[in-house]
Amino acid sequence: MSSFVASPPAGLESASRDAILARPLQHNRLWADVTPLKQDDGESQGCTPVVPINYPAHYSDVMDIFRAVVASGELSPRVLLLSEAVIDCNSANYSAWHLRRQCLERLQSDLRAELEWVATVALDTPKNYQLWHHRRCLLERMDERGAATAHEELQLTADVLDMDSKNYHAWSHRQWCLNFFSRPSAAAGASAGGAPALDVFGLELRYVAELLDADVRNNSAWNQRFFVRTRAPQFVDATAAATTDSTAQGSADSTPRAHPMSAAVLHEELAFTAVKLLLAPHNESPWNFLEGLLRQPRFDAEHRKEMLHLIAALPPGRPGASEEQPPLPNDASEEELVARAAALPNRFAQSLLVELWQLQSPASAASASASSAAPASAAAPSSSSFPAPRLDLARAACLRLGAELDPLRAKYWSWRAGQIDAALAAAGRGAQS
């Protein structure tokens, strides 16, 4: 167990950073009052480690001192520096990050300088979730939500994403930042009536559009676009958002919840996706995005026709084919759109059509559109209530997918076809009765 003398070693207060961290720490006079605490692999209970880990000497040196100060509860400038040394050895050591926050709070340290230091760690080890959590804790403690701070934080994640566009730690932190900076601080909320000053979601929409212009196959950017469209107040259905927000009052979780997109935004997103699909019709990401739009409560008969039109407008060939087909007029009937879309040899399109034909019908869409207070989590109507011709088309698409894909996915689509058979049988019994 460590023990500390009543007074720290002479010269500690005026010692430089390099002097305090001079290795080995166990022979450093500025740590002379600390008794190193060795790692116990069972020796204290008379056990002999079977496969002991051969830690590097410099790592054991730092960790023996670190364990001692944790046991003692010391929170001081030198312990703050020690936490940096531990993080330098192993940036995923969550105990070091926790101790560092305790020191920062006790010492009333400059948190903006800490943010700058954490940024250097983020650029070095960007997939370390401990540092991103640490950064959120700092921002919450500062509660400074100005444009400059928001820009710095979003720019850091953009720099990290430039290194790896699929770094989900950075994307998760970026989503947290959008929620955080879109709400006023406690002081600003009291003085400004609670109105957020920053349109970070609008800026984010432009950022995501730039990413997709650079790489239409950036699935993370497609996911972020959906996140923005269902979180920003200016993009969601106001009535449904107010309904779900009122039910969430009193919850300890202040994170904005997903809300239905407004009808106008659905039109905008269908038009946006139609352009991107022409660039890469066999890219799965926009098809998943379209399925998310399809499942929005405000998706109605007009949206359904737009979706059929964008599918029918795609080139008919497989990847690399250059063949074209005559464009359909804007006033094409739904029957013409269905015939063209159903013949498209694109498995992603066929999968979406199954969802469209199974989950949508003119009656259910009109009902959802007419309801002014439909909850955000409104479930899709039962497939047994849909017109039989649509279910026949969905069944045919399932069989085509089952014939084209690998055995595992073919089994799934065979199961879907069986579900549709059951729905058709139920509809037939209903008609007879």
Condensed to tens digits (0 to 9), the pLDDT of residues 348-380 reads 999 999 988 877 644 333 334 444 333 333 344
Instruction: Give me the chain's average pLDDT, please.
Output: 83
The pLDDT value recorded for residue 277 is: 94
Closest CA to 160 of 148, 173, 151: 173
Query: Helix (H, G, I), strand (E, B), or coil: what is residue 345?
Result: coil
Q: What percent of the chain has pLDDT over 90?
A: 54
Residue 110, classified by CB atoms within 10 Å of its CB into exposed (0-12), middle (13-18) or buried (19+), is exposed
Provide the sign of the torsion angle of the four alpha carbons 133, 182, 275, 390, taken in this order. Answer: positive
H or E element at residue 212: helix 200-214
Neighbours of 55 (CB within 10 A): 12
The pLDDT value recorded for residue 91 is: 94
Cβ atoms 238, 371 nearer than 8 A: no
Cβ atoms 204, 228 nearer than 8 A: yes
- pTM for the structure as a whole: 0.83
Closest CA to 17 of 105, 94, 106, 117: 117
Backbone angles phi and psi of 261, in degrees to 5: -65, 150
Q: Note the pLDDT tens digit of each residue in 176-190.
A: 999 999 888 766 654
The pLDDT value recorded for residue 125 is: 94
Specify the length of the chain in residues.
Answer: 433
Residue spans of the domains in the chain: they are 1-43+53-109, 110-198, 200-241+256-317+327-368, 382-433
Could you tell me the pLDDT band of residue 389, with boundaries at 50, 70 and 90?
low
Could you tell me the pLDDT band of residue 396, with boundaries at 50, 70 and 90?
confident
Catalytic machinery residues: 127
47: left (phi over 0), alpha (psi -120 to 50) or beta: beta
Could you tell me the pLDDT band of residue 6, with boundaries at 50, 70 and 90?
very low
Place of tokens 């730690």: 169
> Which of 46-55, 246-255, 271-280 shows the lowest per-residue confidence on average (mean pLDDT)?
246-255
User: C-alpha dihedral over 359, 364, 366, 368, to 10 degrees?
Assistant: -90
Beta bridge partners, 261, equal 236
Q: What is the mean pLDDT of residues 413-421?
A: 87
Give the CA radius of gyration of the chain.
Answer: 29
> Which of 41-45, 134-138, 228-232, 322-326 shows the lowest per-residue confidence on average (mean pLDDT)?
322-326
